Structure 1
Amino acid sequence: MNPTYAPTEPPRAEVDAYSGPTVLDFGTNWCGWCSNAQPMIAAALEAHPGLRYLKVEDGPGRPLGRSFRVKLWPTLVFLKDGREVARVVRPSRVEELHEALAKITDAVRA
């Protein structure tokens, strides 16, 4: 798991074309909420080593975050084949993340 939010982001058309499960984690490296959530996010993702997980730096003028209507950090968007299936904003319990992950990983097996 990458410890920092990437300053570059893929275009929305590329994200929409992803196949399989993907988690987009929107935040910033200086955000306290984001830093506090990282151990919980890492714990939830531990059981899904092959999952596409992108940490995307967000803020004003960032088109990808705006296209997903991100308002608070961190916001995790769970995608299946480029479509949003679940969203967790400022996770407070690892169970929230497990529930969202189950929605995209179960969809893979179906």
Structure 2
Amino acid sequence: MTDQNFKTETDAGVTLTDFWATWCGPCRMQSPVVEALADDRKDVKFVKMDVDANPDTPKSFGIMAIPTLLVKKNGDVVEKIVGYHTKDQLNEILDKYTK
């Protein structure tokens, strides 16, 4: 995911974007959880964005800490989740927008 294609890739349906960086320890903990969730949930589109390589999008959403997970529904931000979260916690949040 890049600054250039973020809007078009996250404008339809429910999407979860994982904002991360290679140097971020908590991001390395969150990534496998998000990947496992992506394997289970075909009703949500999962994407990742490296904040160092793509600074414009995180800045536009006021993302100041990572990991941050941004949930969008039909192009509108509906949840901004900061810090590490378990698979169960994330499932509960996503269920609000997919049921």
The two structures share one fold, judged by TM-score above 0.5:
yes
Separation of aligned partners in 1, 2:33 and 2:57: 24
Q: Is the 8 A contact 1:80 1:104 kept in 2?
A: yes
How many percent of aligned residue pairs carry the same amino acid? 26
Q: CA RMSD, aligned part only? A: 2.3
Give the aligned partner of residue 68 of structure 1. Answer: 61
Give the aligned partner of residue 4 of structure 2. Answer: 10
Give the aligned partner of residue 22 of structure 2. Answer: 29
**1:97 aligns with one of 66, 70, 90:** 90
Letter in 1 for 2:89: E
Separation of aligned partners in 2, 1:13 and 1:51: 16
Q: Is the 8 A contact 1:25 1:75 kept in 2?
A: yes
How many corresponding residue pairs?
99
Separation of aligned partners in 1, 2:53 and 2:3: 13
Q: Where in structure 1 are there 5+ consecutive unaligned residues?
A: 1-5
- Report the TM-score, using the length of structure 2 for normalisation: 0.80
Runs of at least 4 residues off by over 3 Å: 10-16
Q: Is the 8 A contact 2:18 2:49 kept in 1?
A: yes
Q: Is the 8 A contact 2:12 2:73 kept in 1?
A: yes
Give the aligned partner of residue 75 of structure 2. Answer: 82
- Report the TM-score, using the length of structure 1 for normalisation: 0.74
